[in-house]
Amino acid sequence: MSALPAPVRVDMGSSGLTKVVRSIQRLSYNLPVQSVLSSRAPVVLLYHGVPRQSDDTCINEVVLEQHIIFLKQYCDFVTYEQIGKRRKALERIRVLLSFDDGMRNHAAVVAPILRRHGVPALFFVCSRHATPGKYLWFTYLRALEKHFAGNGFRFRGEFIDMTPAQRQASVSRLWKLLLTLTPHPAAMYQVIDQELPRLEDFISSHVIADSYAGMTTEQVSEVAADPLFSVGIHTADHPFLTKCSTREARDQIQRNKTWLENACNRPCNMVAYPAGDYNRDVIEYTRNLGITYGYAVTPNTNSDSLFEIPRFGIYATSLDLLGLKVHWGIHLRRFKVHVG
């Protein structure tokens, strides 16, 4: 079987090229024919954490509200019940918003913005970080890289160099090591909890709450009680499901489902696969648990469209890039063009 062609990446490094690309992006969603050529099915956008404060490269409170205002000009927002309904050619593009991981800022920052604008959304929530002092593994590593105070620490007999020149490389090595540990994800979390520095020792409680903590059970209940919002499964610990044993993968989904249903006081029939990682077996687990919708990033098995609903990740602050993804994302993905 021949290798798949590598995605084409738009290099934004040159200032001249950047201006050209931005002009193309802006033109792309202002073309008179754009609604005819764009996706007839609802476009599902994927966001992650949205802190109140961050640097200029991240989506924060101010940026998210700009995105919502921008989208309202060009699109109609829909709920998950309308995911299978296709629009007519001249109707406005339909957008469904989704927010993954269940960060505390989803309740504190995102939900108030959406309420203010009357915009529905899906929240896919992990249960691990509802417990104080527990974090999702990748959230922990990002916090460690950004905030660790000092030149390094000892880990399994080795000095982990956290000086500015070596910090990124050191955390990258930790990242790779953790993902090799078995059983996944229990061994990885055991190391984080017992052998690596505690975030509370060098990050303020305010910053942790704004950027790294998960929603509490009470916050999940409050979000679920709002008729604008729906809450879905995202596993207990955000593992790579295809790295888990069969029993562990099922347990990750089942435990999270049970926890969410207790918190929300209603059945939970949607799942978003963590990191877009799944296979046919994972789809079968979800179906057997009574789940009826599965949200992916890029579909990879073509087994059942309702268990591989595609989504487009929104990671950049740019409104032009947002417009490009909403209107042309399905075509860019088909031709393996990556635009950030």
136, with CB counted inside 10 A (0-12, 13-18, 19+), is buried
How far, in Å, are 120, 148, 161 from residue 141 at the CA level? 31, 10, 14
Pairing of strands 93-101, 43-47: parallel
pLDDT in tens, 313-329: 999 999 999 999 999 88
pLDDT in tens, 76-98: 999 999 998 888 878 899 999 99
**Half-sphere exposure (CA, 13 Å, Cβ side) for 338?**
10
Which residue do the tokens 């924060």 mark? 60
- 298, 303, 306, 310 alpha-carbon torsion, rounded to 10°: 10
Q: What is the mean pLDDT of the chain?
A: 91
Residue pair 44/310 in contact (Cβ under 8 Å)? The answer is: yes
Q: How many CB atoms lie within 10 A of CB 31?
A: 13
Domains and CATH numbers, the chain: 34-132+213-338 (3.20.20.370), 137-207 (no CATH)
- Read off the pTM: 0.91
Phi, psi (degrees; rounded to nearest 5) at 121: -160, 160
The pLDDT value given to residue 4: 35
The pLDDT value given to residue 29: 61
Q: Answer whether residue 338 shows pLDDT above 90.
A: no
Whether the upstream peptide bond of residue 197 has omega within 30° of 0, thus cis, is no
